[in-house]
Amino acid sequence: MKIDELDMENFVTLTLGAMYLFLLFCFGFSKQILLANSTDDNKGKDLLAGKVISQSLGCMACHSLDGSEGVGPSWKGIAGTTRELDSGEKIVADHFYLEESIIQPNSKVLLNYPAIMPSYDLMHRELDEIVEFIESLN
Ligand code: HEC
């Protein structure tokens, strides 16, 4: 009788202990998954915002996303490449260059393209989202 009680107590303690450890493990694991997903989601949302804004501003009338030429160059794969300007200068299309091309399109005009892009007065956040979207097309 006494031994049985001890066994029972041990059994309960061990089971509860194991369940506790298991729950801790699950909690840590799901937190990891949630964290990973949330950063992915945020990135996805930002990129989507950039796409929606540029669509609503009409950028796609002159710029394609798939590499095909329009009135202006396609946005596909331009980020980080060297661009040739009509001034004879060459410049790397970094984040800053892309931002400048949108708010002051005529300060640097690409070689073999007309200087007809209108300038856009955007909030910094919108500008950032558009540029991140362009950069994601690489
Ligand atoms: C009326 C046509 C037109 C519209 C609308 C237009 N663009 Fe442009 N864009 C051009 C042309 C043409 C060029 C190339 C000549 C130049 O550098 O200005 C250009 C150049 C650019 C460049 C530099 C690309 C490179 O390869 O270096 C970026 C970035 C850009 N546009 C973004 C935008 C964004 C963002 C919008 C909308 C908010 C927009 N454009 C709307 C015609 C347009």
CATH code of 121's domain: 1.10.760.10
Task: Provide the domain limits for residue 19.
Answer: 2-135
The residue whose CA has the least distance to atom 1 of ligand 1 is 117
pTM of the model: 0.78
Asked if residues 130 and 106 have their Cβ atoms less than 8 Å apart, the reply is no
Token code pair at residue 44: 């996805």
Atom 34 (ligand 1): residue with closest C-alpha?
59
Domain count, the chain: 1
Which residue type does 100 have? E
* Dist. CA 86 → ligand 1 center (Å): 14
Residues 23-56 pLDDT 10s: 887 677 666 655 555 556 667 777 899 999 999 9
Q: Which residue out of 59, 94, 138 has the highest number of ligand 1 atoms within 8 Å of its CB and is therefore the one to mutate?
A: 59
| Three-class secondary structure of residue 36 per DSSP | helix
